[in-house]
C-alpha cells in the first residue's frame, strides 16, 4: 500500500521553477501561497528531494495558525511529517528543515550518508531509513510512509524528484501554478528534470481543471 501522492509546483510561463542562480526565487503570488498552505494543511507528509533539502533548507510547515489549529482539532499534529529523500543526507545542524516545527521528521537516504551523520540526525530525533543502494527506492519510501500513518502525501520538488516519482508511476495528481513571468536560462531548473524520456515514453496527463487568477497566473490541475 502507498499513500495518495500529489505534486504541487509553481513555474514560470517558460516552465522554470527557479532562476539559473538556483536560490529559490519567488514565483507564487500571495493568493497561490495561501492555496499551497491549505494543501500542506491537508497533507499527512511533505516530500522534498536532495537539492531542495540541502540548498534551500525548506521549513515545510503550515504557516497559518488557523490551519494548524484546524489540524489539531482533527486529531492531527500541527504540521505534516517533513520528509527528505537524499542520497547523502549532509544536512546542516542549523537547517530550517530540522529546526522549524514542531514536526515529525523522516529521512530516506543511502549508505553514502556517513555513520556519524546518521547518528547526528537520529540524535535530533530524525527517523532515518537507509536504502542499501545508490539511490533511494521511491516505491519503498512511500510504502514506509504509509506504514507510518501517512495517507495523503505532497511532493514539493525539486525537478529531479518530481520527474523520478512521475516516471515511476507513483503520482496521482499534479498541480501547476503558472506565473506570468519568464526566467529563461538553459541551466535554470524545470518542474521535471532528470534524464528525460523519449517522445513515445511521454507521461500522459488528464486535465481536470483550469483556474485563472487575478494576478495573471493560471492553476493547471491534472490527474495521472
| Contact in structure between 103 and 122 (CB atoms under 8 Å) | no
**Per-residue pLDDT tens for 182-207?**
999 999 999 999 899 999 999 999 99
Q: Nearest 5°: CA angle at 97, between 95 and 101? A: 115
Mean pLDDT of all residues belonging to the chain: 96
The CATH number assigned to the domain holding 174 equals: 3.40.430.10
* pLDDT band (50, 70, 90) for residue 24: confident
Q: What is the pLDDT of residues 89-104, one digit of tens each?
A: 999 999 999 999 899 9
Q: What is the pLDDT of residues 42-90, one digit of tens each?
A: 999 999 999 999 988 899 999 999 999 999 999 999 999 999 999 999 9
111 is in which domain, residue-wise?
Answer: 4-223
Cα maximum dimension of the chain: 51
Cα separation of 218 and 180, whole Å? 8
How far, in Å, CA of 45 to CA of 43, rounded? Answer: 6
Q: Is the dihedral of CA 156, 159, 161, 166 positive or negative?
A: positive
What's this model's pTM, rounded to 2 decimal places? 0.95
Main-chain phi, psi angles of 66, to 5 degrees: -65, -40
The string of pLDDT tens digits covering residues 113-155 is 999 999 999 999 999 999 998 899 999 999 999 999 999 999 9
Element containing residue 87 per DSSP (H, E): none
In order, the DSSP letters of 106-138 are EEEEETTS-HHHHHHHHHTT-EEEEESSSS--H
* 8 A C-beta contact, residue 145 and residue 45: yes
How far apart CA 213 and CA 160 sit, in angstroms, is 28
What domain count does the chain have? 1
Q: What pLDDT score was predicted for residue 16?
A: 96
Amino acid at each position: 500500500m502507498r499513500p495518495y501522492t500529489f505534486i504541487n509546483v509553481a513555474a514560470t510561463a517558460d516552465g522554470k521553477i527557479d532562476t539559473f542562480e538556483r536560490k529559490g526565487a519567488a514565483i507564487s503570488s500571495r493568493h497561490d501561497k495561501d492555496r499551497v498552505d491549505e494543501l500542506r494543511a491537508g497533507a499527512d507528509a511533505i516530500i522534498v528531494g536532495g537539492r531542495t533539502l540541502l540548498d534551500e533548507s525548506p521549513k515545510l510547515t503550515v504557516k497559518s495558525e488557523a490551519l494548524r489549529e484546524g489540524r489539531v482539532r482533527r486529531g492531527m499534529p500541527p504540521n505534516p511529517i517533513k520528509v527528505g529523500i537524499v542520497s547523502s543526507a549532509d544536512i546542516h545542524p542549523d537547517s530550517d528543515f530540522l529546526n522549524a516545527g514542531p514536526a515529525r521528521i523522516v529521512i530516506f537516504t543511502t549508505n553514502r550518508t556517513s555513520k556519524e551523520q546518521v547518528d547526528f540526525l537520529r540524535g535530533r530525533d530524525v527517523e532515518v531509513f537507509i536504502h542499501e543502494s545508490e539511490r533511494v527506492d521511491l516505491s519503498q519510501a512511500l510504502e514506509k510512509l504509509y506504514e507510518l500513518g501517512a495517507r495523503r502525501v505532497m511532493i514539493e520538488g525539486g525537478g529531479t524528484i518530481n520527474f523520478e516519482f512521475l516516471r515511476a508511476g507513483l503520482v496521482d495528481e499534479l498541480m501547476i501554478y503558472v506565473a506570468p513571468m519568464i526566467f529563461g536560462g538553459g541551466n535554470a531548473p524545470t518542474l521535471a528534470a532528470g534524464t528525460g524520456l523519449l517522445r513515445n515514453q511521454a507521461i500522459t496527463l488528464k486535465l481536470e481543471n483550469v483556474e485563472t487568477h487575478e494576478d495573471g497566473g493560471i492553476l493547471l490541475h491534472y490527474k495521472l
